[in-house]
Amino acid sequence: MKWIGPKKPRIKLCPDAYKQLRQRVLERDTWRCQNCGARTKLQVHHKELRSQSGDDSEYNLITLCHSCHSYEHRFPSCTRCS
């Protein structure tokens, strides 16, 4: 039987701090979807989902348009955001 240690603590920011982080990620990604290059309907996606111990940190976030973000959640095994 494999021993599983405690979960790593997740960083979950308060709404104001998350809003600032989201803005930094959009600026870092030059206001473009990192999959298709779209510049409209942009959203910030957690590469490692919160439900899977992903946290609110800049390295775990990527800019996607609404269409690519929806696709990523329908087909999470896809490595398009990695």
Q: Classify the C-alpha dihedral 12-16-18-20 as positive or negative.
A: negative
Which pLDDT tens digit goes with each residue over 31-42?
Answer: 999 999 999 999
Which positions ≥6 away from 19 have C-beta within 8 Å?
none
Return the structure tokens found at 2. Answer: 């494999």
Average pLDDT over residues 58-77: 90
Average pLDDT over residues 46-61: 86
pLDDT at 54: 78
Going by C-alpha positions, the residue among 20, 35, 10 that lies closest to residue 45 is 35
Give me the residue spans of the domains in the chain.
15-74
**How many Cβ atoms sit within 10 Å of the Cβ of residue 75?**
9
